[in-house]
Structure 1
Amino acid sequence: MNVTPLTAWIEGIGFLAPGLPDWPTARAVLRGEQPYTAAPSVLPIPAILPPAERRRASRVIKLTLAIGFEAAANAGADVATLATVFTASGADGHNCHALCEQLASDDRQISPTRFHNSVHNAAAGYWGIATKAMAPCQVICAFDASFGAGLLDALGQVVVDGQPTLLIAYDSEYPEPLHSQRETPDCGGVALLLTPERTARSQARITLSPTTAAADELLDSDLEALRTTIPALRSLPLLSRLARGEAGAVCLDYLAPMQLRIDLQPC
């Protein structure tokens, strides 16, 4: 099968996961400069939102705004101009739990806030409110392959439309009893600002092509556990190479038997 590889440049990175509150911390851990210490994810208050929306913001909203703005700030980009791709394996776990509890009770009147936060594109909606962005926005779900699907879509937009695109991949935990069926331990995510051309801020060039090779794993057992239990963190092998400034290829999980090969060339 002849497939044209997709190529773009990474200009900004945002990251948040259990024990890793931002990209500089994650980069230091991935480089081996400091040990990984497990801790609950710390979600910043989204001060950019108007007060009413800030009060309603769920964990997913706080997560996506934090990593999206970190990636944009890292690249010196204007968030209002960026096309976006939001991708997650599910929706807001805590909100889903609350809705199920309400529907299982005698009072099945769902609050409007709960309802509008329940849809899969809620994070994209809050992003639009916060940034006033009018650029194209895609919202994707592919279960455990959601990071790969989002990366494919974002790279496609960069290549075809020739415009900078911000990929925001994220996941949230579910409380019990859903947690026993979907054992995501906490929320976490990554944001990558991808551009069609190299600039002074470019950090690396990535080229994506299909493969059937097994996905790369991480040697650190705690980080490998994050990779396998939080779908957005299937990105960690790529981020590990980025953190260390290493050229080469990594393989990421996608929809078996197809996997994604990423050839990385740091700037």
Structure 2
Amino acid sequence: MIRLSAYIESIGLLGPGLNGWAEAREVLAGRAPYVAARTVIPAPASLPPAERRRTGAGVKLALAVGLEAAAASGRAAATLATVFAASGGDGQNCHVICETLASEERELSPTRFHNSVHNAPAGYWSIATRAMAPSNVLCAYDGSFAAGLLESLCQVAVDGVPTLLLCFDTDYPAPMRDVRPIPDAFGVAMVLAPEPGVRTLARIEAQLSGAPASVLAAAQLEQMRVDNPAARALPLLDALARQRPASVVLDYLQDVQLQIDVTMPNGAGESAP
């Protein structure tokens, strides 16, 4: 069976009650209580004012977690190959477009249109960071995080370059929420490298598995995992926060999941109780 591996250097995270990786890892590791709250997405200060005004929640979320992860890795954001993964586009923007098309005035704003395409966050990323490194954009419904992680691991293995994975999903308004009930936004980013370094958090090795997906012991965090496709990353993030060797299984396809074996650099965490 094929196994793919890489070294995680850094993480960016925003979700309900989880404001950045430094705060979230304390909650995931059980060192701080989880306090439910709506996701707070900052304005993308890295964009020029004109582009900043045009961005929706998905773009803002992707930029926020991506820039957090890039900064924590110590690498220049513009130099990182990127993989963007999301189960859908900007739900609010899609809602407005549908309302417009269902009205008598059916002329669409060009801004609305270009923000509706699935690779819009990748375009805004290149503007914000002036990146010209390779970039891939993909969608695999509820398995989008696992698909994005696999693609990132492939890039690291084949091209031998550090790669930034950005996975994010935002909520939909009614009536689309009735068929796609994502209640709030969640985004995660991580820098993967082919070799260990001074900032290495863990080594991961991935393979396909028929085992069921891992669940979280904390009920509110488990509900978050189920509610948002991007939050399917939480079992892996939980293992990284606890800094202990672990094996977790992430949702991927209907009959195939993704197993991730996590080991710590230099044996860190091996003797933890």
TM-score (norm 1): 0.98
Gaps of 5+ in 2: 266-273
Instruction: Give the superposed CA RMSD.
Output: 0.6
Q: Distance in 2 between matches of 1:77 and 1:227?
A: 29
Structure 2 counterpart of 1:209: 207
Where do 1:93-132 residues align within 5 Å?
93-132=91-130
Deviation at 1:45? 1.0
Deviation at 1:25? 1.2
Deviation at 1:103? 0.5
Q: For 2:67, which of 66, 69, 78 is the aligned residue?
A: 69
Deviation at 1:21? 1.4
Q: For 1:84, which of 67, 82, 85 is the aligned residue?
A: 82
Q: Write out per-residue CA displacement over residues 56-114 of structure 1, whole angstroms, 9 at most, x where no aligned residue.
A: 11111110000000001111110010000000000000000000000010000000110
Q: Write out per-residue CA displacement over residues 131-166 of structure 1, whole angstroms, 9 at most, x where no aligned residue.
A: 111100000000000001000000000000000000
Task: Kindly provide the amino acid, as one letter, of the partner of residue 167 in structure 2.
Answer: A
Identity of aligned residues (%): 56
1:57 aligns to 2:55 (yes or no): yes
Q: For 2:192, which of 194, 200, 207 is the aligned residue?
A: 194
Deviation at 1:256? 2.2
SS in structure 2 at match of 1:194 = strand
Structure 2 counterpart of 1:17: 15
Q: Distance in 1 between matches of 2:219 and 2:248?
A: 18
Q: Which runs of 4+ in 1 moved over 4 A?
A: none
Deviation at 1:266? 1.4
Task: Kindly provide the amino acid, as one letter, of the partner of residue 118 in structure 2.
Answer: H
Deviation at 1:48? 0.8
SS in structure 2 at match of 1:179 = helix
Q: For 1:145, which of 143, 146, 150 is the aligned residue?
A: 143
Gaps of 5+ in 1: none
Deviation at 1:208? 0.2
Q: Distance in 1 between matches of 2:195 and 2:32?
A: 33
Q: For 1:261, which of 255, 259, 262 is the aligned residue?
A: 259
